[in-house]
Amino acid sequence: MTSVISLIHFTMSRANIHRQAGAPTVVRIIFAASLALISSIAHAADGPAQMPNGGSLDARNLAAYRSGVDTAKSLAKANNAAAAEQVLVALNLAPPNTAEWHIETAQRLIHVGERLIRDGQPAGRSAGLFSSALQHLSRADSATADSRVRATARRLAGFVNERFIGDAKSALDHYRESARLAPNSAAAVEAADRLQRTDDTFREKNAKTGR
């Protein structure tokens, strides 16, 4: 319930800001969707279902989550990444502005970006989502001293750079730092080793061709 209260406070504060600024219709729609989502969460029953971020939601909450993601996806399709992010932020369960909260936000942005790509949307529709995800992961890395949480943030940043941005160097740097922070994490070490092997192979081919 504490997380629900935090979501309500966050949503209401955003609504007050937008109301004072003469918010456009799209913001009022986002606000209404957020309140509907929060109401669904607040009245949920038992029976957890595992979520991608490691938390659990029951069937009703899962439906609310999917509805929020669909709303965000529609906004991103309309080239409104900022509005999509506002909807996704309302789905977060972690306390606002903590490292975990930033990681949750990044995960949701990545998820929506992946869905847009699968739907064949132009790259520009998802580019803003991935860029924002990297910003949140950077903030997560700076917001905590917990090496495990930082390792998760850096590993996700590596994934985004490798798979969606196409920046192998940045990806490798993130993977290496993730492995350093969590040397017992098989995922972090494997990702760093895999990309390092790819980089070595690429350099060998360039050396042979004289590039």
Q: For residue 1, what pLDDT is reported? A: 39
Reading the block at residue 24, the tokens are: 């456009």
24 phi-psi bin (left φ>0, alpha ψ -120 to 50, beta other): beta
* pLDDT one-digit tens code per residue, 163-210: 999 998 999 999 999 999 999 888 878 888 888 887 666 566 656 666
Q: For residue 210, what pLDDT is reported? A: 62
Q: What are the φ and ψ backbone dihedral angles of 57, each rounded to 5 degrees?
A: -135, 145
d(CA 81, CA 93): 21
Under 8 Å between Cβ of 45 and 81 = no
d(CA 88, CA 68): 7
Distances (CA, A) of 25 to 3, 31, 62, 86: 27, 10, 27, 14
d(CA 120, CA 160): 18
The length of the chain is 211
Q: For residue 209, what pLDDT is reported? A: 65
Place of tokens 């092997």: 197
Q: For residue 211, what pLDDT is reported? A: 60
| Residue stretches of the chain with pLDDT short of 50 | 1-21, 23, 25-53
Q: For residue 47, what pLDDT is reported? A: 35
* pLDDT one-digit tens code per residue, 21-32: 454 544 444 444
Q: For residue 126, what pLDDT is reported? A: 95
Q: For residue 6, what pLDDT is reported? A: 44
Q: For residue 207, what pLDDT is reported? A: 64
